[in-house]
């Protein structure tokens, strides 16, 4: 990739949204945050974002519905679900719907970096 990857973070929790964005930026990647799935979809266009990090449980439209909507629009953007929900059925549904990864909060820097670089097809840093 010639320029820094652009990562979208969708989470209704402002503190979590900002923390994830700051973490992404420490990896020399660009980040844009959204407080809802609807706000993200309003700014979304195919190929605009290199990866999406989303919460599973949000008011109105949750992360799983967002993932389904993206896939129905023809988007192949990798989606990483970061959630406090550690139940197996939620994890299975998210992965079956095409999520690249399902991570449980709190997510460590190394774990997020590992999955982000894999989702972007980048070599992990040394």
The topology under which CATH files domain 6-120 is: Rossmann fold (3.40.50)
CA distance 34 to 118: 23
Q: What backbone phi and psi angles, to 5 degrees, belong to 29?
A: -115, 155
Sign (positive or negative) of CA dihedral 11, 77, 51, 95: positive
Task: Tell me the pLDDT band of 125, cut-offs 50, 70 and 90.
Answer: low
Tens digit of each residue's pLDDT (9 = 90 or more) over 75-124: 999 999 999 988 899 999 999 999 999 999 889 999 999 999 999 998 76
At 53 the three-state DSSP class reads strand
Short-list 63, 70, 71, 69, CA closest to 105: 63
CA distance 1 to 98: 23
pLDDT score for 40: 96
At 104 the three-state DSSP class reads strand
Tens digit of each residue's pLDDT (9 = 90 or more) over 36-84: 999 999 988 877 899 999 999 999 999 999 999 999 999 999 999 999 9
User: DSSP secondary structure string, 1-26?
Assistant: --SPPEEEEE-S-HHHHHHHHHHHHT
CA distance 126 to 124: 7
């Amino acid at each position: 990739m010639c320029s820094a990857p652009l990562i979208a973070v969708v989470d209704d929790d402002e503190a979590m949204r900002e923390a994830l964005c700051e973490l992404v930026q420490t990896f020399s990647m660009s980040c844009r945050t959204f407080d809802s799935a609807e706000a993200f979809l309003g700014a979304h266009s195919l190929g605009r974002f290199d990866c999406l990090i989303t919460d599973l449980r949000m008011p109105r439209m949750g992360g799983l519905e967002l993932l389904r909507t993206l896939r129905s629009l023809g988007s192949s953007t990798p989606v990483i679900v970061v959630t406090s929900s550690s139940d197996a059925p939620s994890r299975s549904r998210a992965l079956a719907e095409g999520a690249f990864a399902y991570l449980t909060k709190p997510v460590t820097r190394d774990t997020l970096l590992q999955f982000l670089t894999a989702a972007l097809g980048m070599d992990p840093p040394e």
